[in-house]
Amino acid sequence: LHGIRHQIHHQSSSVIELDPFSLVADELSILAKRLRSMVVAEVPKLASAAEYFFKMGVEGKRFRPTVLLLMATALNVRVPEPLHDGVEDALATELRTRQQCIAEITEMIHVASLLHDDVLDDADTRRGIGSLNFVMGNKLAVLAGDFLLSRACVALASLKNTEVVTLLATVVEHLVTGETMQMTTSSDQRCSMDYYMQKTYYKTASLISNSCKAIALLAGQTAEVAILAFDYGKNLGLAYQLIDDVLDFTGTSASLGKGSLSDIRHGIITAPILFAMEEFPQLRTVVEQGFEDSSNVDIALEYL
Ligand code: GRG
């Protein structure tokens, strides 16, 4: 973050006083429209499943596209020289379109992972409405997720940048790895903060960090700045998941758009439990017994 701030300081003579989100509000509306057109499937049943979350009103927070478009705003350097025949403008527009494409791909991968996640967790609510698996069944939810991943791959290939393709294709492996790590039954691993942080990188931070790096690479930034962009996305992603894990204990169904206490009820040990265990080692016995017995959930909550 410091490095990126430093860059902005050198490239712009005035400090931006605007609400940063207003800088990308118009682009987010365009992204919403583009996404709706990118997920249209041939077979009506698949079409209604794949479009489920791309309809108006159930778009989620759009956190990843917002971060990526702001990252693009920070990193796209304009050469302060007179324009020749609008060539520079055309190049800048072309670059921005390619970065918008990264934001769209990232959101499609994210939504695909949500659809599959809800099947794995047997969730009934997502983004304040019935989850797709709940409304249309597990089979269509899995297929719709696969379909979105395919559309994301085609959009990725259209960028014709092998390094960026490799970054975002590897993220899918990371999502699957993180999700599998979460299914561990080993009590040593479940109670280890290192294991939790590694899993959190894979399941949440990898998508944000690698897509931030992709934005920097497309902007033609140096490898050093690309690493800073990656680190920024990684730390932001880890923080985002940590907050998500705390909200699972403190939020309400209305504020979360899904049930609270979902992690602990699924036996998923997250940061709040791990921190509480550092202070109260006796909590480990409860964690090892598991949370199928809801009275253990109540006992654990008392330590938080
Ligand atoms: C098929 C790509 C794919 C992956 C399969 C199921 C799975 C492997 C991975 C699950 C990864 C996952 C759901 C991680 C949680 C990340 C997270 C913090 C989700 C919530 O994100 P928000 O709050 O959601 O940004 P909205 O609804 O606002 O977009």
Per-residue model confidence as pLDDT tens digits over 196-211? 999 999 999 999 999 9
Burial 84-105 (b: 16+ CB within 10 A, else e): eeeeeeeeeeebbebbbbbbbb
Give me ligand 1 centre to Cα 9, in Å.
34
Tokens of 169: 């294709």
Ligand 1 atom with the shortest distance to the CA of 145 = 1
The string of DSSP letters for 79-143 reads P-S--STTHHHHHHHHHHHHHHHHHHHHHHHHHHHHHHHHHHHT--EETTEE-HHHHH-HHHHHH
Q: What is the pLDDT at residue 229?
A: 98
Sign of the four-CA dihedral 220, 225, 229, 234: positive
- Residue of 116, 240, 260 to mutate, ligand 1, most atoms within 8 A of C-beta: 116
Give me ligand 1 centre to Cα 113, in Å.
5
Q: Whose CA is nearest to atom 17 of ligand 1?
A: 204
Q: Residue ranges of the chain with pLDDT lower than 50?
A: 1-8, 10
Is position 285 within any domain?
A: no
Q: Which domain, by its residues, includes 193?
A: 2-260
Is position 212 within any domain?
A: yes
pTM value surpassing 0.80: yes
Distance CA(174)–CA(178), nearest Å, equals 6
Please determine, for the modelled complex, whether the ipTM score is greater than 0.85. yes
**CA distances in angstroms from 194 to 108, 187, 212, 270, 283, listed in the order given:** 29, 13, 24, 12, 18
Give me ligand 1 centre to Cα 281, in Å.
31
Q: What is the pLDDT at residue 252?
A: 80
The beta-strand segments (E) located in the chain are 125-126, 129-130
Give me ligand 1 centre to Cα 205, in Å.
10
- Residue of 118, 131, 203 to mutate, ligand 1, most atoms within 8 A of C-beta: 203
Q: How far is CA 2 from the centre of its chain?
A: 22
- Residue of 28, 58, 114 to mutate, ligand 1, most atoms within 8 A of C-beta: 114
Give 3-state DSSP helix, strand, coil % of the chain, rounded to 5: 75, 0, 25
Ligand 1 atom with the shortest distance to the CA of 109 = 2
Is position 162 within any domain?
A: yes
The string of DSSP letters for 18-32 reads S-GGGGTHHHHHHHH
Give me ligand 1 centre to Cα 127, in Å.
12
Distance CA(289)–CA(146), nearest Å, equals 36
Number of separate domains in the chain: 1
Distance CA(9)–CA(38), nearest Å, equals 37
The string of pLDDT tens digits covering residues 15-36 is 555 677 788 999 999 999 999 9
CATH of the domain at 23: 1.10.600.10
Residues 6+ apart with CB under 8 A from 8: 74
The string of pLDDT tens digits covering residues 64-107 is 999 999 999 999 976 666 666 677 788 889 999 999 999 999 99
Q: What is the pLDDT at residue 87?
A: 78
Which residues have any ligand 1 atom within 6 Å of their CB? Answer: 60-61, 63, 109, 112-114, 116-117, 120, 127, 145, 149, 172, 175-176, 179, 203-204, 241, 244
Is position 247 within any domain?
A: yes
Give me ligand 1 centre to Cα 208, in Å.
11
Give me ligand 1 centre to Cα 71, in Å.
21
Is position 272 within any domain?
A: no
Decide if 28 contacts 66 (C-beta within 8 A): yes
Is position 270 within any domain?
A: no
Q: How far is CA 51 from the centre of its chain?
A: 19
Q: Which helix (H) or strand (E) holds 171?
A: helix 162-182
Q: What is the pLDDT at residue 34?
A: 95
Ligand 1 atom with the shortest distance to the CA of 146 = 1
- Go through the chain and tell me how many residues it has: 304
Is position 201 within any domain?
A: yes
Is position 284 within any domain?
A: no
